Structure 1
Amino acid sequence: MRNFSLLFVLIVTLSFTDLNAQSSTEKKEDYKVKLFSDDEYANLHMWFYNQVQQMKLSERADDEYGSYLSMHVSRMMRLDDKDKGYSKSTIIQKYNEIFNNLNKDVKPVLNEEQFRQHLEIMSVLSKAIFNKLDQKMD
């Protein structure tokens, strides 16, 4: 179960849910947007974890991949917060910029097949996020 907690953080971030209430102020909590229900989140989390396990990363690659995921998804975490005031198109633009930087950073860490798997996994997650974003912001 390498990087289980890191993968947990990734799904939390990508689904724009706020499970870090202990370290957030009440004011920040008022700005958080929860796109996925608890059941949807749990299903996405398990799916993501299983997909990453299928990548069969070495310990070194797993650590580096996890570090890059954590760094980039933390930047994605607050894109849809109410206090940002971003439009849906701005959120998508900024998300895609961060997503492209993530891909650029993880590519040297992964072999060709792992990178292909990474792109597939992230594509599915991105579609799920954008679908929920459409529902919440339209």
Structure 2
Amino acid sequence: MKVYQILYLGCFLLVANMSIAQNKTEKDIELQEAKVDTVYTVEERANIQRWFYERVNDMQLKPDVRDDYDRIINKYVFDMSRLNDADKNYTREEIHDKFDEMVDKMNTELKSILTTDQYVNHLENFGEIQRSVYRRWNFKN
């Protein structure tokens, strides 16, 4: 059910964004020009999200913990996805450093809401994503 809610929200946001796009200000245009393509294609992102969603389901989080978990993950993943925006002018090394800092902050927040087993599971799951990003950006461990 949650997948359908996320897809519905995504479609709604896409339609809303398209209607708002017709009334762009100069600042909006500058921000759009500064945006850089993401590391993954839409299909790759969908596959990663589906895989991660299934792994998180395996953690059997209580509903309130799941809500907190999703909120924290989404907050940090969004910020991570914006690290290569042109308006930030980050070097490849700075992107790597900031990415690692965000992962550390995210993990610290998550550790406080998860059991030890759940946290270990999270580290394994997100570690796969982190390694994938490292491969895409050719980061060294």
Give the TM-score of the pair, scaled to structure 1.
Answer: 0.76
Query: What is the identity, as a one-letter code, of the residue corresponding to 1:97?
Result: E
What is the aligned partner in structure 1 of residue 24 from structure 2?
A: none
Distance 1:64 1:20, change over 3 A: farther
What is the aligned partner in structure 1 of residue 74 from structure 2?
A: 70
Query: What is the identity, as a one-letter code, of the residue corresponding to 2:99?
Result: Y
Larger radius of gyration: 2
CA apart distance, 1:70: 2.6
What is the aligned partner in structure 1 of residue 31 from structure 2?
A: 28
Count of aligned residue pairs for this structure pair? 125
SS at the partner of 1:29?
helix
Query: What is the identity, as a one-letter code, of the residue corresponding to 2:96?
Result: I
Taking only aligned residues, the RMSD between alpha carbons, in angstroms, comes to 2.9
* 2:66 maps to 1:59: no
CA apart distance, 1:26: 3.5
What is the aligned partner in structure 2 of residue 15 from structure 1?
A: none
Query: What is the identity, as a one-letter code, of the residue corresponding to 1:128?
Result: S
Contact 2:65 2:113 survives alignment (8 Å): yes
Following superposition of structure 1 onto structure 2, how do residues 1-138 of structure 1 map, counting pairs within 5 Å? 1-2=1-2, 5=6, 22=17, 25-30=28-33, 31-134=35-138
CA apart distance, 1:29: 2.7
Contact 1:32 1:82 survives alignment (8 Å): yes
CA apart distance, 1:100: 0.6
CA apart distance, 1:67: 2.0
Structure holding more helix per residue: 2
SS at the partner of 1:41?
helix
Distance 1:38 1:75, change over 3 A: closer
Distance 1:71 1:41, change over 3 A: closer
Query: What is the identity, as a one-letter code, of the residue corresponding to 2:6?
Result: S
Gaps (5+ residues) in structure 2?
Answer: 22-27
Give the TM-score of the pair, scaled to structure 2.
Answer: 0.74
Distance 1:97 1:90, change over 3 A: same
CA apart distance, 1:69: 1.6
